[in-house]
Amino acid sequence: MEVDIISRETIKPCSPTPLPLKTIKLSFLDQLIPPFYTPLILFYPAIGNNKVEINLFLSILKTSLSKALPRYYPLAGRISDHFSISCNDEGAFYSETRIHSRIHEFLESSNLESLNRLLPFQPFVKQLYPSVPQVAVQANIFECRGLAIGVCMLHKIIDAVTMSNFLTTWATIARGCAEEFHTDFHAGSSLFPPRDQLPDEYSSAMDKGWFMEGRYVTRRFVFDPKAIHILKDRARSENIANPTRYEVLSSFIWKHAMAASRAASKSPKLSVSIDSVDTRSRMEEPLSRNTIGNLLWSATSGFESARTEIGLSDLVTMTRESIRKINGNYFKTLQVDQGCSMIYNGIKLMLENFSQESPDSFGFSSWCNLGYRETDFGWGKPVWVGIWGGEASPFRNLVIFLETQSGLGIEAWMTLDEHILSALEGDDEFLAFTLPNPSIPSA
């Protein structure tokens, strides 16, 4: 796929950040996350009948981005250090490209290998602040006047909910709708103040937890409603009568990824499932969805794959129990000094595991029902939403769930070590429930 870069520029906020708001503290939860870009690509059919209309739409896209940035003023700034953001209005990165193909040809080909070329930056690569922008956009125009908006957002204070909020605000402004936008940039750092000092071994431990040696490849698997229904039936037990889609699919993938790893390496090892949990609704006093920041925590389950084969219902039970522990009482512990000790002990345990034989680590995150498929800039909702593709940076094994276009099925975007992925793609039972890289858009 030929991609010609037409322009690059910086989009500044349409109004300056007031002097009293020039510095924002990171929360302790923000501090725990390495800085890397999280991607998203929104695909739209023809946005105009001629070049004049296309240029008008692109102008609206840039103008509305400039108007959205003051409402999210920290995102127009730069990460100063490990403790704060300088809200200096340096702005967002913006580029435009021309794609020498038609959008329907690209979508029907299911060519994930080319997805990253529609993004302004390489996703999941550790960045060095303070030089990098927190918001980056690439507007890709196809020959048929179709449009793909590739977005990269720095994960340092932007989680999936924050990204959704920002895109919704930006799109609403682009449509010319007059709505009030209420955002809270301070609750996170107020509840979880930044720590002045972290253990010396912290950076090494986190890098080993997030970035691993190996060659990682991305595949997209789709679970249709029938497959999800059957797996739910299999996962039911006396402990859990009605498992959720997330519990069932994350456990099913974990189960088969463990087997694939064992087949690829010819040896069993500790396997860890890390579920990303949005803390907003789990606090003792729930936070608004418009609370900005990395308000995430990890629920961790482990299983020694040398043991007897474990059933799907058992993994579902383990997953639910680990997530259920992330509650108001848990966060009370984090909010006092002993919370540091608890986290440091976790880091120490991680280092001990990695100093022996690196365990298999599989991260799971759900982006379902966050509204990405509703992002309308004035020319309709996207016909498809992509995330990333092809070879990935040496990021840990990661699975992100996104609902299909109909909302009934689930897309599982999986970046796995190529040896694990190869063994997984030879797993007849796994393939019996999934459609690997099906045509786009999927039902």
The pLDDT score that the predictor gives to residue 112 is 79
Residue 119 CA to residue 203 CA, distance in Å, equals: 28
Rg for the chain, CA atoms, rounded: 22
What gap in Å lies between CA 11 and CA 297, rounded to an integer?
32
**Quick one: 46 and 137 in the same domain?**
yes
Indicate whether 273 pLDDT > 80. yes
Do residues 261 and 345 both lie within one domain?
A: yes
- The larger pLDDT score, comparing residue 150 to residue 393, is at 150
Q: What is the DSSP string of 178-193?
A: ------BSSHHHHHSP
380 found inside a domain: no
Give per-residue pLDDT as tens, 128-146: 877 899 999 999 999 999 9
pLDDT at position 152 is 97
| CATH code at position 95 | 3.30.559.10
Rounded distance between C-alpha atoms, residue 330 and residue 340, angstroms: 13
Q: What local confidence, expressed as pLDDT, does residue 182 receive?
A: 84
Alpha carbons within 13 A on the beta-carbon side of 394: 8
Confidence of residue 172 (pLDDT cuts 50, 70, 90): very high
For residues 51 and 373, the model is more confident at 373
Whether the CB-CB separation of 93 and 133 falls below 8 Å is answered with yes
pLDDT for 354 beyond 60: no
259 and 323 assigned to the same domain: yes
* Whether residues 133 and 16 fall in one domain: yes
What mean pLDDT do residues 349-377 have? 80
Residues 182 and 208 in one domain: no
In this structure, is residue 140 part of a structural domain?
yes
Q: For the chain, what percent of residues have pLDDT higher than 90?
A: 59
pLDDT surpassing 60 at residue 442 = no
Nearest CA-CA partner of 199 in 332, 342, 80 = 342
Which of 147-161, 266-280, 321-335, 345-359 has the lowest average pLDDT? 345-359
Please count the other Cβ atoms lying within 10 Å of the Cβ belonging to residue 239: 12
Q: Tokens 């789709």 map to which residue? A: 222
Q: Are residues 170 and 208 in the same domain?
A: no
Per-residue pLDDT at 159 exceeds 60: yes
pLDDT (0 to 100) of residue 443: 37
Inside any domain, residue 157: yes
pLDDT at 89 over 70: yes
Per-residue pLDDT reduced to its tens digit, 289-327: 999 999 988 888 888 766 667 899 999 999 999 999 988
Rounded to whole angstroms, how far apart are CA atoms 435 and 130? 42
Q: DSSP for 297-358?
A: EEEEEEEETTSSPPPHHHHHHHHHHHHHTSSHHHHHHHTSHHHHHHHHHHHHHHHHHHHSSP
Structure confidence by residue, pLDDT tens digits, 43-58? 998 887 888 889 999 9
Domain C-terminal end among 164, 191, 218? 191
Section 404-414 average pLDDT: 92
Mean pLDDT within 366-383:
95
Q: Are 285 and 408 in the same domain?
A: yes
On whether both 184 and 267 belong to a single domain, the answer is no
* Contact in structure between 351 and 201 (CB atoms under 8 Å): yes
Instruction: Say how many domains are in the chain.
Output: 2
Quote the domain boundaries for residue 55.
Answer: 3-191
3-state secondary structure of 42: strand
More confident residue, 196 or 393: 196
Domain-located, residue 131: yes
Whether 376 maps to a domain, the answer reads: no
Q: Are residues 280 and 137 in the same domain?
A: no
For residues 255-265, give the mean pLDDT: 90
Token match 């799109």: residue? Answer: 171
In a domain, 196, yes or no: no
User: Is 441 part of a structural domain of the chain?
Assistant: no
Pairwise pLDDT comparison (31 vs 39), residue with the higher score: 39
What is the pTM (predicted TM-score) of this model?
0.93
Residues with a known catalytic role: 155, 376
Looking at residue 267, its pLDDT comes to 76
Q: Is the pLDDT of residue 356 over 70?
A: no
347-373 mean pLDDT: 76
* Least confident range of 29-33, 97-101, 112-116, 439-443: 439-443
The pLDDT assigned to 360 comes to: 83
pLDDT at 375: 97
Residue where a domain terminates, one of 130, 164, 191? 191
Is 272 in contact with 315 (CB distance < 8 Å)?
no
Of 172, 191, 210, which residue constitutes the final position of a domain?
191
Within a domain: residue 153?
Answer: yes
Residues 60 and 27 in one domain: yes
259 and 179 in a common domain = no
Residue 18 has pLDDT above 60, yes or no: yes
User: Do the Cβ atoms of 433 and 231 come closer than 8 Å?
Assistant: yes
Residues 407 and 422: their CA atoms lie apart, in Å, by 29
Looking at residue 346, what is its pLDDT? 58
Query: What kind and span of H or E run contains 11?
Result: strand 3-11
Mean pLDDT rounded to a whole number for the chain: 87
Which residues face 400 on adjacent strands?
365, 413
Q: Does 158 share its domain with 300?
A: no
